[in-house]
């Protein structure tokens, strides 16, 4: 009896299937990694803009209400810049609120953004005390 050399088509198909499953796993991991990287980049942008607005408010402390109700030109300039650099900010504008804590005024700034891979908004909030 003569021994056959080589592989059966069935063996080759099983090897290709196993290889394909492995490649799909790597591609899925890469997709999640890129999405996470973009979300982190957007979070850093939001943090920077929240800190920028908090500095504007601290420097212009007598006009806090103009920032809260959106009538300040500095706020409008800031908001236009944020809308250009953060995705989906147009759908949910930043929230600025004024509260009182132990006799001191506290300003909260919350910035919302949405990543293309998610339908939910992410947010970042900074709170500053006004003396």
The pLDDT tens digits for 50-66 are 999 999 998 887 888 89
Range of the domain at 52: 44-130
CA distance 99 to 54: 15
Q: Which three-class secondary structure state does DSSP give residue 20? A: helix
Count up the domains in the chain and report the number: 1
For the entire predicted model, the pTM comes to 0.77
**Quick check: is 13 in a domain?**
no
Contact 59, 75 (CB under 8 A): no
**Using the 8-state DSSP alphabet, how is residue 80 labeled?**
H
Residue 63: predicted pLDDT: 86
User: Looking at the domain assignment, is residue 31 inside a domain?
Assistant: no
What is the side-by-side strand order in the sheet with 104-114?
95-101, 104-114, 121-130
Residue 6 has pLDDT above 80, yes or no: no
3 assigned to some structural domain: no
- For every residue of 33-70, DSSP letters joined together read HHHHHHHHHHHHHHHHHHHHHHHHHHHTGGGHHHHHTT
């Amino acid at each position: 009896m003569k021994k056959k050399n080589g592989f059966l088509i069935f063996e080759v198909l099983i090897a290709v299937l196993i290889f394909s499953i492995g490649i799909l796993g790597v591609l899925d991991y890469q997709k999640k990694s890129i999405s996470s990287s973009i979300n982190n980049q957007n979070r850093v942008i939001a943090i920077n803009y929240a800190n920028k607005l908090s500095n504007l408010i601290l420097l212009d402390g007598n006009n806090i209400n103009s920032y809260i109700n959106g009538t300040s030109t500095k706020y409008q300039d800031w908001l236009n810049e944020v809308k250009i650099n953060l995705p989906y900010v147009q759908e949910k504008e930043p929230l600025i609120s004024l509260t009182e804590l132990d006799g001191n005024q506290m300003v909260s700034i919350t910035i919302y953004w949405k990543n293309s891979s998610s339908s939910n908004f992410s947010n970042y909030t900074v709170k500053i005390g006004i003396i």
